[in-house]
């Protein structure tokens, strides 16, 4: 999952970045409302926005209002001071999906992030299954026929994106957007390498990653041949 954090408290932002990256998320950070608005207009690959309301140069509520006015349905978790009840109410009315009052426990924030991103892709649990292949988004564990797969962090991220869109085409550029933070130099050629490595580990039995030349990849189940 790819997350944008809009928070001007650098200490809090650093804590959020460490926590969410350790949980396997791809995370970018901005420190003002105007930067958040620009990032959201430039990139539609974010799976979640964590939005502090007391941002400089554009209030968080204005960022949220403009985001929803553009028709974006990205889940939004707002962060507010404990006493800011009116701001929380207004944020929810403007289209925020959840809120947390500061201070908060990072473990609770991580759980809310997982719940919101599941909801964003139409899932009710953290477990994604595709035939014998399964991936637990909360525990970051992939299994095949109940046996754990040894996957790198990048391979897990790639598998998560493909599973969330199983049966649908995902382009190399979309994979780069989902898997890479700002400043990371990852080419589409590198994506081919990761796909090759992942194929060797998951293409067993009825599962395969199909290549649509020039367009991208699709995780699909191989149908058994019809009996003669």
Q: List the domain boundaries for the chain.
A: 2-120, 127-221
The band of 223, judged by pLDDT with boundaries at 50, 70 and 90, is low
Average pLDDT over the chain, rounded to an integer: 88
Q: Is the pTM of this model over 0.85?
A: no
110-161, pLDDT tens digit by residue?
989 988 987 766 665 678 888 888 888 878 889 988 899 999 888 998 998 8
- What's the confidence (pLDDT) of residue 122? 60
Q: Considering only CA atoms, which of 118, 32, 105 is closest in space to residue 75?
A: 118
Cα–Cα dist 67/60, whole Å: 10
Tokens 């898997």 sit at which residue? 179
- How many residues in total does the chain contain? 228
β 48-52/76-81 pair status: parallel
d(CA 135, CA 68): 31
Return d(Cα 111, Cα 92) in angstroms, integer: 19
SS3 annotation, 145-210 = CCEECCCCHHHHHHHHHHHHCCCCCECHHHHHHHHCCCCCCCCHHHHHHHHHHHHHHHCCCCEEEE
The per-residue pLDDT for range 33-71, each reduced to its tens digit, is 999 999 999 877 898 999 999 999 999 999 999 999 999
- For 2-120, CATH gives 3.40.50.2300
Res 115: pLDDT: 87
Q: What is the pLDDT of residue 38?
A: 95
Alpha carbons 150 and 140: distance in angstroms, whole number = 11
- Tens of pLDDT, residues 13-38: 999 999 999 888 899 999 999 999 99
- pLDDT range class, residue 174, cuts 50, 70, 90: confident
Distance CA 129, CA 115 (A): 17
Going by pLDDT thresholds of 50, 70 and 90, the confidence category of residue 221 is: confident
CATH classification code of 127-221: 1.10.10.10
């Amino acid at each position: 999952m790819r997350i944008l954090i809009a928070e001007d408290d650098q200490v809090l932002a650093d804590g959020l970045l460490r926590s969410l990256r350790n949980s396997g998320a791809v995370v970018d950070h901005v420190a003002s409302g105007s930067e958040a608005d620009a990032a959201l207009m430039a990139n539609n690959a974010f799976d979640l926005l964590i939005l502090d309301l007391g941002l400089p140069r554009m209030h968080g509520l204005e960022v949220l209002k403009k985001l929803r006015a553009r028709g974006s349905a990205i889940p939004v978790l707002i962060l507010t001071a404990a006493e800011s009840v009116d701001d929380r109410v207004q944020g929810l009315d403007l289209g925020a999906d959840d809120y947390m009052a500061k201070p908060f426990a990072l473990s609770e924030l991580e759980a809310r992030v997982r719940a919101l991103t599941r909801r964003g892709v139409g899932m009710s649990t953290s477990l994604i299954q595709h035939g014998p292949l399964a991936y637990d988004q909360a525990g970051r564990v992939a299994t095949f026929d109940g046996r754990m797969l040894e996957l790198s962090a990048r391979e897990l991220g790639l598998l998560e994106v493909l599973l969330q869109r199983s049966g649908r085409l995902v382009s190399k550029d979309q994979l780069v957007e989902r898997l890479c933070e700002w400043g990371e130099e990852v080419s589409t050629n590198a994506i081919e390498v990761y796909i090759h490595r992942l194929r060797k580990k998951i293409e067993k039995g009825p599962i395969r990653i199909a290549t649509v030349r020039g367009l991208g990849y699709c995780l699909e189940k191989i149908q058994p041949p019809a009996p003669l």
